[in-house]
Chain A
């Protein structure tokens, strides 16, 4: 099995906890890989975790899959200047975060202008939320502002460093620190109020 075969990584066990940190073995992909092979290899290692990350941001699996697939297509187009797994993963994370923001923005506008549903009818957001496991933390996370939620999800689900979070969110490291601190304070207050 050589590193040049992207299908080789698909044999990886799927029951382990995945993170969004780049694998060391895929840190530098072979130069002869074309975009198709890179997409296949990175898909097999990171697609699931990226979808889960996007689901935490969007609270909707279908939208999350669409966002991640769009990001993979964008990465395929940009592969000629990426040519590196770490860069590609960073690009994917940025793309997922940006597209999730767009989806949320679009959803806010549609929700604001959509006709009010009947009181006994569950809203679309509740339907989407049913796909995520309902827990106090997830519910409290939903009440946070978008940037704070992104910072928390990237840090505690993606296990990313401050620099990686700053790169993915397109903000400075200081802003990441302040967003994270505020988010933790809000989350702690919300959880304490609940208990």
Chain B
């Protein structure tokens, strides 16, 4: 990376952080999440479905507004022509005459309106022709989604009932994978094998491949549950946690000297230092996170 590019990168990074770091989300985010989580599953799905349907309905109304206008005018013309017909028949039946008077206030333009209504329908037919397959597709999608949710729940229940000790990690995607999050939500192992923020080039830190996240969790866990080992073995994420948490791994390691949880703040502070270094100097002595993470990540991503 040339110095010009590096300067541009630093400028971009500073500008984005300056713009975004002023944003403070509302404090009640967790309460709102919990409130929505505490809703019953069916109610949550129904509310999600209703929200989606409301959005869909709004879009349909917006998209079909000209068609609706033409439809109403055509219906009005049809009503007038029907009223004229009833009025003509009303010479024989008095009740039909009253109905015709209601439907067709002016009898003079009956024939003209009839022709107009036929022309209106002829105009509307190609416009509304796609509505039928669209409704069919929407119904099919609705049925498939509902069936998938139901089947996923049933499978989860069966798995948990028949194999109480197992997790669903190795049994394919659970119900949430097919939820509103979309198909792109499958967590790939490559995402797990990424160097953390504290991994800096030039610091001489070993490659995160040497971490003990996968095996140490299963072998040294004080409460070894049989469910944790298959999930680790099936997903070789090689999670780069060179300092395992204290209560998980009783084996003392040099990196576990830091307190278990405040290490998060140290990692964040590390990134803050890195950011401050970039912001103050403008000349980065250490390559960006992209360059720093690539060499050690390649084996893990494979």
Contact = CB atoms under 8 A, between A and B. Distances in A.
Interface of A: 1-5, 8-9, 11-13, 16-19, 21-28, 30-32, 36, 39-40, 43, 45, 47-48, 51-53, 55-56, 61, 64-65, 68-78, 80-87, 90-91, 94-95, 98-99, 102, 106, 109-110, 113-114, 131-133, 135-138, 141, 152-153, 155-157, 159-164, 166-168, 170, 184, 187-188
Contact of A77 (B12, B29, B59, B179): B179
A51 B23 contact: yes
Given A18-B268, A95-B185, A28 B62 contact: no
Interface-centre pick from B26, B190, B196 (highest chain A CB count, 10 A): B196
Given A43-B29, A84-B237, A131-B23, 5 more contacts: A16-B268, A55-B23, A68-B29, A71-B181, A163-B191
Interface-centre pick from A9, A156, A162 (highest chain B CB count, 10 A): A156
Contacts of A184: 5, 8, 12
Interface in B96-154: none
A132 B15 CA distance: 12
A189 to B, nearest CB: 12
Nearest to B169: A81
The 3 closest A-B pairs by CB, nearest first: A27-B241, A25-B263, A77-B176
Contact of A56 (B16, B33, B294): B16
Contacts of B18: 133, 135
14 contacts: A3-B248, A9-B261, A13-B265, A17-B268, A21-B267, A27-B196, A68-B29, A80-B167, A81-B167, A81-B173, A83-B169, A87-B235, A98-B185, A135-B15
B207 interface: no
Contact of B174 (A28, A81, A164): A81
A161 B244 contact: no
B261 A25 contact: yes
Contacts of A110: 58-59, 62
A94 B15 CA distance: 24
Contact of B264 (A25, A47, A163): A25
Interface of B, helix, strand, loop or mixed by DSSP: helix
Nearest to B39: A73
Contacts of A102: 182
B247 A162 contact: no
Contact of B9 (A21, A72, A156): A156
Contact of B267 (A4, A25, A141): A25
A16 B272 contact: yes
Interface in B11-30: 11-13, 15-26, 29-30
A65 B33 CA distance: 10
Nearest to B4: A188
Interface-centre pick from A21, A52, A74 (highest chain B CB count, 10 A): A21
B195 to A, nearest CB: 7
A98 B25 contact: no
Given A80-B174, A86-B237, A90-B191, A56 B268 contact: no
Contacts of B265: 12-13, 16
B6 to A, nearest CB: 12
B251 interface: no
